[in-house]
């Protein structure tokens, strides 16, 4: 089976993270969404879900977002899983392929979470080896996304934005900047999110993610949980404005994974992000006309 | 500073085994205890895996009620965590686990209901396979047909149970009459699970057809499968059985088993 497009489309504007609950609506109504992002691990089988993606791919550019490669595992990357990802990439020919700065597997167990890494020379070497391996097997460049964190390791001498920059520098990968994750991590670990964002190498960032988070009281203080279960918060919208000013009008994704609302709610969120992206475009035009 | 592999093993033990001590020692305390921070990660792992099991086993969940299912899922995840990242592939041995799980061992039919739900899930997500090319069959001389072996679609399963698991399944659908009852003493089930229009469905087969298809799925040639079917029912109609097997579009390839030429793959 192959998809009848000549070359992968490029992403522009504000896309939406496509979830199972919206598949039927997207197939029936063809909503005006510039592009969709799908989780690779949900489409590694056959049947109805694969058929739905095949049809959606004919009408929309697709970005493929992996959540299971576990690039930060000291045990190495699961070769069988990487082969399945390659088969999916070859079939889908997505506009982008992305994964995470995290790990999930150890000792043959897959923990189903994007778990945190200590940022050391050792973990940097591990990540780089596995990104090289993935890019080699997939035959294309991937983007690496910053995680949300609820803890800091005692020994983690490299700041996260520098660590990401080093990965990109050593492997040639691009970066995916999740603005909500920056805000969540900064709040949970006592960092300044603007300083974090400004430390990212802006030329290497190629996609932006936005989502909602929850506030939980745990252990006597407030912790932000990256649950993708609510509208983007005011603070994250403000940080996004700063991101757009600094990084430019990058393709941006709205994600929602818990208590998923009707597609129209996600489209409203996407519209809000579009206005911020568009405002930046207008400012840019104004500046070049002056 | 422990090596990365040790940090990750300690994390796994903290998240699955409940022993936080090694992982906690690697985590900075700033303002919140390391065990409270680890609890956030543990909660996510268990909540998402439990949700995945509920999506695969909705009838089992209704049969034991949701609070018991959450408890059983928690024990199952600790005992048999996933080894692969695709969640639709997680939970294949829940039936075996439930069969040995003390608090629900008295529900003797429960593991077989779980097997049916797993078969429906596996059929829904099975790799797409090509249909049988009729030329493959026409190339084989009719007198050699007793030696025919069949390759089946990955989205095809057979399942039998001494319990009426099909009726239990129907009685626990959201649309079922809540007052309906199932007689557990009724006959068991001989089921076939396959895709129709992309959706996984099951249906009951008569004993001879089930025995016939079971033998073929296990790799027996047509002659051996026919023998099995006649044992189940001396009135078995071979021509009709082969015709309906091909019409059901569950065969992907044929070859002569007697020549050692098994279907490829």
ipTM: 0.92
Separation CA A130–CA A135 (nearest Å):
8
Asked if the model's pLDDT at residue A18 lies above 50, the reply is yes
Asked if the model's pLDDT at residue A260 lies above 90, the reply is yes
As a whole number, mean pLDDT of residues B65-88 equals 97
Which tens digit of pLDDT belongs to each residue from A105-152? 999 999 999 999 999 999 999 999 999 999 999 999 999 999 999 999
Q: Do A46 and B41 touch (CB under 8 A)?
A: no
**What residues 168-187 of chain B have any CB closer than 8 A to a CB of chain A?**
none
CB-based contact, A108 to chain B, within 8 Å: yes
Separation CA A243–CA A115 (nearest Å):
25
Q: Which of A191, A201, A117, A138 is nearest to A166 (CA)?
A: A201
Asked if the model's pLDDT at residue B113 lies above 70, the reply is yes
Separation CA A248–CA B147 (nearest Å):
68
Predicted local confidence at residue A281, as pLDDT: 56
CB-based contact, A53 to chain B, within 8 Å: no
Q: Do B126 and A45 touch (CB under 8 A)?
A: yes
Distance from the Cα of B12 to chain A's closest Cα (Å) equals 7
Distance from the Cα of B55 to chain A's closest Cα (Å) equals 12
Asked if the model's pLDDT at residue A49 lies above 70, the reply is yes
Query: Can you name the residues that pair with A255 across neighbouring β-strands?
Result: A211
Asked if the model's pLDDT at residue B144 lies above 80, the reply is yes
Residue A109 belongs to what H/E stretch? strand A109-115
DSSP state of A9: P
Q: Do A112 and B49 touch (CB under 8 A)?
A: yes
User: Using CB atoms, which residue from B15, B36, B128 is nearest to A50?
Assistant: B128
The three-state secondary structure class of B231 is helix
User: Using CB atoms, which residue from A107, A126, A218 is nearest to B40?
Assistant: A218
Predicted local confidence at residue A143, as pLDDT: 98
Distance from the Cα of B32 to chain A's closest Cα (Å) equals 6
DSSP state of B14: I
Distance from the Cα of A289 to chain B's closest Cα (Å) equals 50
Confidence of residue B244 (pLDDT cuts 50, 70, 90): very high
Indicate the average pLDDT of chain A. 93
Predicted local confidence at residue B258, as pLDDT: 57
Separation CA B40–CA A221 (nearest Å):
13
**CB-side neighbour CA atoms (13 Å) of A60:** 27
Structure tokens belonging to residue A231 = 């509208």
Of chain A, the percentage scoring pLDDT greater than 70 comes to 92
* CA A6-A142-A122 angle, 5° bins: 165
Q: What is this structure's pTM?
A: 0.93
Predicted local confidence at residue A11, as pLDDT: 92
- Are A66 and A59 a contacting pair, CB within 8 Å? no
**Contact residues on chain B for A2, CB-CB shorter than 8 A:** none
Which tens digit of pLDDT belongs to each residue from A148-198? 999 999 999 999 999 999 999 999 999 999 999 999 999 999 999 999 999
- Are A197 and A239 a contacting pair, CB within 8 Å? yes
Separation CA A2–CA A10 (nearest Å):
19
What are the residues whose beta carbons fall under 8 Å from the beta carbon of A103, sequence distance 6 or more?
A: A70, A71, A72, A73, A74, A115, A117, B8
Of the two residues B7 and A279, the one the predictor is more confident about is B7
Instruction: For tokens 């033990």, name the residue.
Output: B13
Question: How many angstroms separate the first and last alpha carbons of chain B?
Answer: 49
Q: Which of A130, A148, A126, A146 is nearest to A138 (CA)?
A: A130
Q: Do B155 and A67 touch (CB under 8 A)?
A: no
Predicted local confidence at residue B17, as pLDDT: 85
Predicted local confidence at residue A218, as pLDDT: 67
Asked if the model's pLDDT at residue B259 lies above 70, the reply is no
Asked if the model's pLDDT at residue A288 lies above 70, the reply is no
CB-based contact, B88 to chain A, within 8 Å: yes
The three-state secondary structure class of B149 is strand
Q: Do A45 and B88 touch (CB under 8 A)?
A: yes
Phi/psi at A11 (5° precision): -95, 140
Which tens digit of pLDDT belongs to each residue from B187-221? 899 999 999 988 999 999 999 999 999 999 999 99
User: Using CB atoms, which residue from A50, A115, A221 is nearest to B11?
Assistant: A115
Distance from the Cα of B84 to chain A's closest Cα (Å) equals 6
Separation CA B135–CA B175 (nearest Å):
44
Best residue in A1, A21, A46, A79 to probe B by mutation, most B CBs within 10 Å?
Answer: A46
Asked if the model's pLDDT at residue A7 lies above 60, the reply is no
Predicted local confidence at residue A99, as pLDDT: 98
Best residue in A27, A187, A219, A226 to probe B by mutation, most B CBs within 10 Å?
Answer: A219
CA nearest A150 in B: which residue? Answer: B37
Predicted local confidence at residue A221, as pLDDT: 85
Q: What is chain B's percent helix, strand, coil content, to nearest 5? A: 55, 10, 35
Predicted local confidence at residue A3, as pLDDT: 39
CB-based contact, B84 to chain A, within 8 Å: yes
The three-state secondary structure class of A32 is coil
**What residues 134-173 of chain A have any CB closer than 8 A to a CB of chain B?**
150-155
Q: How many CB pairs under 8 A join A and B?
A: 146
Q: Do A106 and B5 touch (CB under 8 A)?
A: yes
CA nearest B44 in A: which residue? Answer: A113
Predicted local confidence at residue A217, as pLDDT: 82
Q: Which of A177, A252, A257, A195 is nearest to A225 (CA)?
A: A257
CB-based contact, A2 to chain B, within 8 Å: no
Q: Which of B220, B212, B247, B236 is nearest to B147 (CA)?
A: B220
Confidence of residue B18 (pLDDT cuts 50, 70, 90): confident
**What residues 5-24 of chain B have any CB closer than 8 A to a CB of chain A?**
5, 7-9, 11-12, 15-16
Compute and round to an integer the Cα radius of gyration of chain B: 24
Confidence of residue A283 (pLDDT cuts 50, 70, 90): low
Confidence of residue A4 (pLDDT cuts 50, 70, 90): very low
Separation CA A264–CA A256 (nearest Å):
12
- Are A220 and A156 a contacting pair, CB within 8 Å? no
Predicted local confidence at residue A8, as pLDDT: 53
User: Using CB atoms, which residue from A1, A107, A151 is nearest to B27?
Assistant: A151
As a whole number, mean pLDDT of residues B241-248 equals 94
Where do runs of H (alpha helix) occur along chain A? 23-29, 47-59, 79-92, 121-138, 160-171, 179-189, 193-199, 234-247, 263-289
DSSP state of A206: E
Q: Which of A107, A194, A180 is nearest to A149 (CA)?
A: A180
CA nearest B200 in A: which residue? Answer: A47
Q: Which of A22, A111, A150, A137 is nearest to B87 (CA)?
A: A111
CB-based contact, A217 to chain B, within 8 Å: no
Separation CA A115–CA A72 (nearest Å):
9
């Amino acid at each position: 089976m192959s998809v009848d497009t000549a070359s992968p489309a490029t992403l522009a504007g504000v896309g939406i993270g496509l979830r199972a609950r919206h598949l039927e609506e997207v197939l029936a109504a063809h909503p005006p969404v510039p592009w969709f992002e799908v989780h690779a691990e949900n489409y590694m089988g056959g049947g109805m879900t694969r058929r739905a993606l095949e049809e959606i791919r004919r009408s929309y550019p697709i970005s493929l977002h992996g959540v299971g490669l576990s690039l930060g595992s000291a045990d190495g990357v699961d070769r069988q899983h990487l082969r399945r990802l390659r088969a999916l990439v070859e079939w889908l020919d997505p506009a982008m392929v992305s994964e995470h700065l995290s790990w999930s597997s150890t000792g043959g167990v897959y923990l189903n979470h994007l778990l945190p890494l200590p940022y050391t020379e050792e973990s940097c070497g591990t990540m780089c080896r596995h990104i090289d391996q993935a890019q080699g097997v997939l035959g294309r460049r991937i983007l690496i996304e910053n995680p949300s964190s609820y803890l800091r390791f005692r020994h983690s001498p490299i700041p996260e934005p520098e660590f990401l920059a080093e990965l990109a520098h050593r492997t040639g990968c691009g970066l995916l900047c999740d603005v909500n994750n920056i805000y969540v991590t900064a709040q949970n670990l006592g960092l300044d999110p603007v300083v974090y964002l400004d430390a990212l190498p802006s030329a290497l960032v190629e996609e932006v993610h936005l989502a909602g988070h929850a506030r939980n009281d745990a252990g006597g203080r407030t912790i932000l949980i990256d649950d993708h279960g609510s509208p983007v918060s005011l603070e994250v919208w403000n940080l996004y404005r700063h991101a757009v000013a600094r990084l430019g009008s990058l393709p941006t994704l709205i994600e929602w994974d818990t208590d998923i609302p009707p597609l129209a709610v996600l489209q409203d969120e996407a519209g809000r992000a579009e206005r911020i992206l568009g405002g930046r475009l207008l400012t840019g035009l104004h500046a070049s006309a002056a | 500073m422990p090596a990365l592999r040790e940090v990750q093993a300690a994390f796994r033990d903290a998240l699955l085994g409940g022993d936080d001590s090694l992982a906690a020692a690697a985590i900075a305390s700033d303002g919140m205890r390391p065990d409270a921070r680890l609890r956030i990660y543990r909660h996510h792992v268990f909540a998402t895996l439990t949700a995945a099991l509920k999506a695969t086993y909705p009838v089992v969940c209704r049969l034991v009620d949701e609070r018991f299912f959450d408890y059983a899922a928690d024990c199952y995840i600790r005992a048999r965590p996933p080894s692969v990242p695709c969640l639709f592939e997680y939970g294949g041995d829940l039936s075996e686990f439930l069969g040995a799980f003390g608090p629900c061992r008295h529900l003797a039919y429960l593991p077989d209901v779980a097997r049916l739900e797993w078969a429906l899930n596996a059929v829904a997500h099975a790799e797409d396979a090509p249909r049988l090319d009729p030329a493959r069959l026409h190339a084989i001389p009719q007198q050699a047909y007793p030696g025919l072996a069949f390759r089946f679609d990955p989205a095809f399963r057979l399942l039998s149970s001494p319990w009426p698991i099909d009726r239990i399944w129907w009685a626990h659908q959201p649309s079922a009459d809540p007052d309906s009852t199932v007689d557990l003493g009724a006959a068991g089930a001989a089921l076939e699970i396959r895709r129709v229009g992309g959706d996984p469905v099951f249906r009951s087969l008569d004993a001879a057809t089930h025995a016939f298809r079971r033998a073929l799925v296990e790799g027996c040639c047509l002659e051996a499968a026919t023998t099995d079917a006649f044992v189940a029912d001396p009135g078995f109609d071979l021509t009709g059985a082969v015709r309906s097997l091909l019409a059901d579009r569950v065969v992907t390839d044929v070859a002569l088993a007697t020549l050692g030429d098994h279907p490829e793959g």
